Amino acid sequence: MKAKKHLKWNTKCKFCLLPSLIGTAIFFVIPYIRVLYYSVIDNQFRRNFVWLDNYIDTLTNEYFLLALKNSLLLIVICVPVLIILALVISLALSYGIKWIRKTRFAFVLPMVIPTASVALIWRSVFAENTTVLPIYLLFIWKNIGICIVLLTAAFTSIEKSICEAARLDGANSLVLHTRITVPMIAPTVFFTVLLSIVNSFRIFKESYLYYGTNYPPDHSYTLQYYMNNNFLKLDYQSLATSAVLTSILVFGIVMVGMAIQRRYNR
- The secondary structure of 232-266 as a DSSP string is HTT-HHHHHHHHHHHHHHHHHHHHHHHHHHHHHH-
Whether 170 and 248 map to the same domain: the answer is: yes
Looking at the structure of the chain, the number of domains it has is 2
Whole-prediction pTM? 0.86
pLDDT < 70 stretches in the chain: 1-7, 96-102, 104, 265-266
Task: Report the CATH number at residue 115.
Answer: 1.10.3720.10
* pLDDT tens readout for residues 181-191: 888 888 889 98
Q: Are 204 and 222 in contact (CB under 8 A)?
A: yes
pLDDT given for residue 120 in this prediction: 87
Whether 23 and 123 map to the same domain: the answer is: no
Does residue 47 lie within any of the structural domains? Answer: no
Domain boundaries, position 141: 55-265
Q: Which of 1, 42, 10, 148 is nearest to 89 (CA)?
A: 148
pLDDT given for residue 61 in this prediction: 94
* pLDDT tens readout for residues 43-98: 888 889 998 999 999 999 999 999 999 999 999 999 999 999 999 888 888 776 66
- Express as a percent the part of the chain with pLDDT over 90: 39
The radius of gyration of the chain's CA atoms, rounded to the nearest angstrom, is 23
